[in-house]
Amino acid sequence: MNQYDHLPHLDLIEFREKVSRLIKASLFLTMVIGGSSLAYLAMGEGRYTWLDCLYMSVVTVSTVGFEEVIPVDTPMLRALTIFLITTGTGGLLYFASLVTALIIEGDINHWITRRNVQRRIDKMTGHIIVCGIGSTGRHTAREMVQSGQPFVIVERDHAKVELLEHQLGQQLLWVQGDASDDEVLEAAGIARARGIVCALTNDRDNLFVVVTARKLNPDLRIVSRVIEERSAIKLKRAGADEVVSPNRIGGRQLAQQMIRPEMVGFLELMMDETDRVMRIARIDITAASPYAGRALRDTDLRSRWGLTVVGVRDEDDAHTEYAPGPDFVLRAGTGLIVFGEAGQLDDARAVIAID
Q: Which of 48-52, 133-137, 232-236, 265-269 has the lowest mean pLDDT?
A: 265-269
pLDDT band at 1 (very low <50, low <70, confident <90, very high): very low
pLDDT for 52: 84
pLDDT band at 104 (very low <50, low <70, confident <90, very high): low
pLDDT for 272: 63
Is the pLDDT score of 251 beyond 60? yes
Separation of alpha carbons 266 and 285, rounded Å: 29
Is the pLDDT score of 102 beyond 50? yes
pLDDT in tens, 305-319: 888 888 888 877 668
Q: Which of 99-103, 137-141, 256-260, 279-283 has the lowest mean pLDDT?
A: 99-103
Specify the higher pLDDT residue, 16 or 149: 149
pLDDT in tens, 21-60: 888 888 888 888 888 889 888 888 778 888 888 888 888 8
Separation of alpha carbons 157 and 137, rounded Å: 13
pLDDT in tens, 280-339: 888 888 888 888 888 998 888 888 888 888 888 887 766 888 888 888 888 888 888 888
Q: Which of 230-239, 253-262, 299-308 has the lowest mean pLDDT?
A: 253-262
pLDDT band at 109 (very low <50, low <70, confident <90, very high): low
pLDDT for 62: 80
Mean pLDDT, range 336-351, rounded to an integer:
83
Q: Give the whole-number percent of the chain exceeding pLDDT 90.
A: 25
pLDDT band at 194 (very low <50, low <70, confident <90, very high): very high
pLDDT for 107: 57
Q: Domains of the chain by range and CATH?
A: 12-107 (1.10.287.70), 124-249 (3.40.50.720), 277-352 (3.30.70.1450)
Q: Give the whole-number percent of the chain exceeding pLDDT 70.
A: 86
Give me the chain's average pLDDT, please. 83
Specify the higher pLDDT residue, 5 or 96: 96
Mean pLDDT, range 79-93, rounded to an integer:
83
